[in-house]
Amino acid sequence: MALTTQDISKLNRIIKLAEKLITKDTHGLAKGRNGKPQRAKRNMRKRRTGRELVQFRKMLKAERKKGIPVAEMARKHGISTAYIYLL
């Protein structure tokens, strides 16, 4: 099976792209489109019901009254900022 010059150039491009991806991932972090490392995906979703939900909302309101920034609270508890503002 003989390869044409187009096939060879396509294979060379694939090899260069693979090498580029390997060298970018030197720290074991996957890079996003903008070149910044992506966060490790964690299963942060947790469904709270009943008494636990009431307690969680009270805790969020108390933290908010203390003056803790919303962005920090959202990161800490794994919820959106909109949910905090909703309360």
DSSP letter for each residue of 51-77 = HHHHHHHHHHHHHHHHT--HHHHHHHH
- Whether pTM > 0.85 for this model: the answer is no
Domain boundaries, given as residue ranges, for the chain: 48-87
pLDDT by residue (tens digit) across 26-70? 555 555 566 666 555 555 567 788 899 999 999 999 999 999 999
Which helix (H) or strand (E) segment holds residue 74: the answer is helix 70-77
Please report the pLDDT score of residue 31 as a whole number.
Answer: 56
Structure tokens at 24: 């970018």
Average pLDDT score over residue span 10-30: 80
